[in-house]
Amino acid sequence: MRRAPVLLAFTLIVLSFILSGCYGGSRPPRIGTPAPDFLVQDADRKVEIRDFRGKLVLLNFWATWCPPCVEEMPSLVQLQQRMKDKGLTVVAVSVDVDNDAYHNFLKDHKIDLLTVRDPDQKANNLYGTFKFPETYIIDRNGIVRRKFIGPVDWSQPEIVDFLTKL
Query: Is 80 exceeded by the pLDDT of residue 105?
Result: yes
Report the distance separating Cα 32 and Cα 30, nearest Å: 6
Report the distance separating Cα 87 and Cα 40, nearest Å: 22
pTM of the model: 0.81
137 and 145 in contact (C-beta within 8 Å)?
Answer: yes
Is residue 114 one of the residues assigned to a domain? Answer: yes
Boundaries of domain holding 118: 30-165
CA dihedral 103→105→110→116, nearest 10 degrees, is -50
Is residue 19 one of the residues assigned to a domain? Answer: no
pLDDT tens profile 72-99:
999 999 999 999 999 999 999 999 999 9
pLDDT of residue 30: 78
* Span 40-66, average pLDDT: 94
Spacing of C-alpha 131 from chain mean position: 10
Is residue 85 one of the residues assigned to a domain? Answer: yes
Is residue 96 one of the residues assigned to a domain? Answer: yes
pLDDT tens profile 117-139:
999 999 999 999 989 999 999 99
Domains in the chain: how many in total? 1
Check which CATH number belongs to the domain holding 88 and give it: 3.40.30.10
Is residue 131 one of the residues assigned to a domain? Answer: yes
- Per-residue CA distances from 80 to 41, 73, 153, 163 (Å): 22, 11, 13, 11
> How large a percentage of the chain has pLDDT more than 70?
83
Is residue 15 one of the residues assigned to a domain? Answer: no
Is residue 44 one of the residues assigned to a domain? Answer: yes
Is residue 14 one of the residues assigned to a domain? Answer: no
β-bridge pairing 56-62 and 134-138: antiparallel
